[in-house]
Amino acid sequence: MRHTQLRSFHAVAQRLSFTAAARELGVSQPTITTQVKSLEQEFGVELFVRRGRRIELTETGAGLLEIARRLFADEKEAADYLNETRGLRTGHLRVGAVGPYHVTDMLAAFNARHPGLYVSVTVGNSRDTLRDLLDYRTDVAVLAHVDPDPRLVAIPYRRHRVIAFCPIDHPFAQRRSIRARDMEGQRLVVREAGSTTRRAFDQAMREADVRPKVVMEIGSRESIREAVAKGIGMGVVSEAEFIPDPRIRKLPIADTEIYTYAHVVHLKERQKARLVHAFLQVLAGLLPVSSPSSRRRPSNSRR
DNA sequence: GCCTGGCGGAAGCTAAGAGT
DNA sequence: ACTCTTAGCTTCCGCCAGGC
């Protein structure tokens, strides 16, 4: 088995496309076909099921993909190690995040500490971000919530207060803050049910026995801001994600502390990988936060 | 011991063709 | 039109034998 064969297989298996794999590796598409085919012939196995223009991994292919992922993660780690030996002047740190807001300060600190390193950030939903980390496609991930997993190490990083906001012609627009009770019956534009902000807010409202009226569910923060600015209802957002806009007013919820959290997550087995280690060292220098036991704290138990 | 030329394999290309 | 396969080709590189 040659390295190029495995490299081609890995690229095809990840994208389920010979053409996309060729583009990724910077070779012609027939080259990829040849490499994969020769691998199959050499071992007398079938790695992909070809269904016309669509291909699928066979069971053997899926098994090999698992191994290839580990191998290429190790290969990257070897390169990172050598780069570290040269003083971390070059290298590529891959960060996955559920939103750009939580990562900017840690990336700024990392860049200041290691200006020669290239950092790429993939922003996605929490499921994809976690999957990328587990599949070695990213080195670290920034997630709001992490279920216990023996493969993972989650470091509580920041918490952000959840605030409300309204259009400038709303009756609340002249107020400096509101109370949870004020949300009773209010028209709300909110994120989808699975979103962290939505979960934290819903829980707080349930505990306060307050029932806002959800009139619209939108999957992006920017769209919610636009909807609120147009007067469709009030919005709720993590304070870190609030972007000032002359058409809207920010309204802290004075009597109820609702928080969203950011955790930096990495694979336990890669804890000592050079770039991951360097990132964690930079992280340790930033403000820590103790692990949350609840997303909402009553105001009289403020730390 | 070192240099040189031949050989073979790996890698990758273009072109053409087949399937959807 | 797009994607994958096949055929035939070139280039590059490492190995090895022969000559100095």
Per residue in A223-266, pLDDT tens? 888 999 998 999 998 887 788 888 999 988 888 888 888 889 99
Q: What is the pLDDT of residue A291?
A: 41
Tens-place pLDDT, residues A184-231? 888 999 887 667 788 888 888 988 888 988 888 887 778 888 999 998
Can you tell me the distance from the alpha carbon of A151 to that of A130, in angstroms, rounded to the nearest whole number?
Answer: 12
State which nucleotides on strand B lie below 7 Å from a protein beta carbon: 10-16, 19-20
Q: How many domains in chain A?
A: 3
Domain identity same for A131 and A110: yes
Q: How far is the CA of A54 from the C1' of B8 (A)?
A: 36
Q: How far is the CA of A140 from the C1' of C15 (A)?
A: 44
Spell out where chain A has E strands: 48-51, 54-57, 92-97, 118-123, 140-143, 152-167, 187-190, 213-217, 234-238, 248-251, 256-267, 296-298
A32 contact to strand B (CB, 7 A limit): no
Of A5-14, A33-42, A79-88, the range with the lowest mean pLDDT is A79-88
CA dist list (Å): A98 to A30, A39, A127, A233, A261:
37, 37, 9, 25, 11
A30 contact to strand B (CB, 7 A limit): yes
Stretch A149-154: mean pLDDT: 88
- Residue pair A153/A273 in contact (Cβ under 8 Å)? The answer is no
A53 contact to strand C (CB, 7 A limit): yes
Instruction: List b or e across A173-188, with b for residues whose CB sees 16 or more CB atoms inside 10 angstroms.
Output: eeeeebebebbeebbb
Residue range(s) defining the domain that contains residue A227: 159-260
Domain identity same for A114 and A52: no
Q: What is the pLDDT of residue A234?
A: 93
Stretch A117-130: mean pLDDT: 84
Domain identity same for A60 and A16: yes
Predicted confidence band of residue A30 (pLDDT cuts 50, 70, 90): confident
How many CB atoms are located within 10 Å of the residue A154 CB? 17
A50 contact to strand B (CB, 7 A limit): no
Terminal Cα distance for chain A, rounded: 59
Q: How far is the CA of A4 from the C1' of B5 (A)?
A: 29
Stretch A120-129: mean pLDDT: 83
- Residue pair A302/A257 in contact (Cβ under 8 Å)? The answer is yes
> Is A43 within the bounds of a domain?
yes
Q: What is the pLDDT of residue A101?
A: 72
CATH number at residue A27: 1.10.10.10
Mean pLDDT of chain A: 80
For residue A169 the two structure tokens come to 């012609």
Closest residue to B19 (CA, C1′): A52
Can you tell me the distance from the alpha carbon of A205 to that of A128, in angstroms, rounded to the nearest whole number?
Answer: 29
Domain identity same for A202 and A242: yes
> Is A72 within the bounds of a domain?
no
Can you tell me the distance from the alpha carbon of A178 to that of A170, in angstroms, rounded to the nearest whole number?
Answer: 13
> Is A73 within the bounds of a domain?
no
Domain identity same for A41 and A85: no
The nucleotide lying nearest A3 (C-alpha to C1') is B10
Q: What is the pLDDT of residue A165?
A: 93
> Is A195 within the bounds of a domain?
yes
